Amino acid sequence: MLGEEKTLPEWTDAIRPEMYTNKDHQEIAMAIDEILGANEVPDLITVADRLRGWHRPKAASAVIEIASAASTTANLNYHSKLLVENYQRKKCSEAIESILKGFGGKQISEIREALISTADRLEPIVGGQNLTALRDEVKEVYKALVRADGDERRRSVRTNIESLDRKVFLDPGEQTILAGRPSMGKTALACNIARNVSERGQGAVVFFSLEMSKASLVRRLLSAEAKISGWKLAEAAKDGRLAESANKLYTLDLWLDDRPGLTIGAMRPCLQKFDKVALVVIDYLGLVRPGREERHDLRIGGITKATKAIAKEFNCHVMMLAQLNRSVENRNPPMPRLSDLRDSGNIEEDADNVMLLYRPGYYSDHADPEECQAAIAKQRNGPTGMVKLRWNRGTQTFGGW
């Protein structure tokens, strides 16, 4: 009952006066809010007095009627939850009806933008239900650590490149920026990692290729799987050497989308099709269609913040490829730095990890053509430093050094 603090529902903070359809009930809720805001305890007398002071005698009488009709508070939390959910359902229906009325004659791209905008407007209404008490979270994290047998490096996303897995932690809910100058092997490494993660069977791997076609990606995957150079694939297919590799790729939970100019909002419905997503690869940042911010750096910041939100929403890891500035080429040797990232301030702020690829053999005939250096320039939950990888140009694959 009112005045019994222990009976206040868990959903008290979520309830607002406008959620009630009855005007008297709205005014009662407003009176209770005002009393609670003054750090006082709402009871029959204080609430009724407050309403009479507002010249709301009908609402004041309703307080007594409601209190008399409620014989128990046992179901108070349940009824409060129903109130909030009914209000949310009503607001969602209103928003959907409103957007449907405006669909006539609009382009698909305009409809997509309208849907994204509607989702943003609904977030304050349907959000706020993901709050977890620290005690519950501590319990879950502790149990997970026990299950991991003390191995704090155990993650659901592993590259299966031993030297890289020893250094880089790809946690769910986080994102990695994989950057380098053209021809350093960014897409090839992303393909290798996507294939290896999908083989582990811990969730779908979704590869958004805004630059290369699906067919080109599949050729790369076949070349890597069969360990046959790309220019010999047709010959291998004819004599049957490619069949086993094709069958292996056929079993993987790996999905490709090569639509150009995708927005992050358009990627979200694709991910919602899966019960569990382990990894999302976006190739690459510069080709993602940005928002409508006037400044370029703000548009890039909007993309990186949106991809980080996807990582958290789907509890997956997001790997996004990015280009480095031409200023790298003016350095001797041309080893990349974090500041070489285009619009590096925004990217560095939102990324949990940043990996910079550099192949000395690309710039010098005297360097080992198989050597690739992956500089871990940023890692929120682990060390930074350099990892040596072995690059096979013919099969477009990476391995440990």
DSSP string across 298-338: HHHHHHHHHHHHHHHHTT-EEEEEEEBPGGGGGSSS----G
Do 222 and 293 belong together in one domain? Answer: yes
User: What average pLDDT does the chain have?
Assistant: 81
Lowest-pLDDT choice from 334-343, 368-377, 384-393: 334-343
Q: The CATH number of the domain where 353 resides is what?
A: 3.40.50.300
Do 81 and 214 belong together in one domain? Answer: no
How many domains does the chain contain in total?
2
Strands (E), 181-294: 204-209, 254-257, 277-283
- Cα 173 to Cα 310: distance, rounded to the nearest angstrom: 8
Do 380 and 260 belong together in one domain? Answer: yes
Please tell me the predicted confidence (pLDDT) of residue 201.
82
Do 159 and 256 belong together in one domain? Answer: yes
Residue 39 lies in a domain: yes
Do 312 and 386 belong together in one domain? Answer: yes
Give the residue with greater pLDDT, 144 vs 399.
399
Q: Classify the C-alpha dihedral 272-273-275-276 as positive or negative.
A: negative
pLDDT band at 238 (very low <50, low <70, confident <90, very high): confident
Do 101 and 171 belong together in one domain? Answer: no
Token pair belonging to 104: 């006539």
Residue 147 lies in a domain: no
What is the residue range of 257's domain? 154-400
Residue 3 has pLDDT above 80, yes or no: no
- Cα 62 to Cα 189: distance, rounded to the nearest angstrom: 68
In degrees rounded to 5, what are phi and psi of residue 277?
-115, 130
pLDDT band at 150 (very low <50, low <70, confident <90, very high): very low
Do 173 and 126 belong together in one domain? Answer: no
Do 169 and 22 belong together in one domain? Answer: no
Residue 64 lies in a domain: yes
Domain boundary among 131, 146, 179: 131
Residue 142 lies in a domain: no
pLDDT tens digit sequence for 99-119 = 777 666 677 767 766 766 666
Q: The CATH number of the domain where 40 resides is what?
A: 1.10.860.10
Do 127 and 159 belong together in one domain? Answer: no
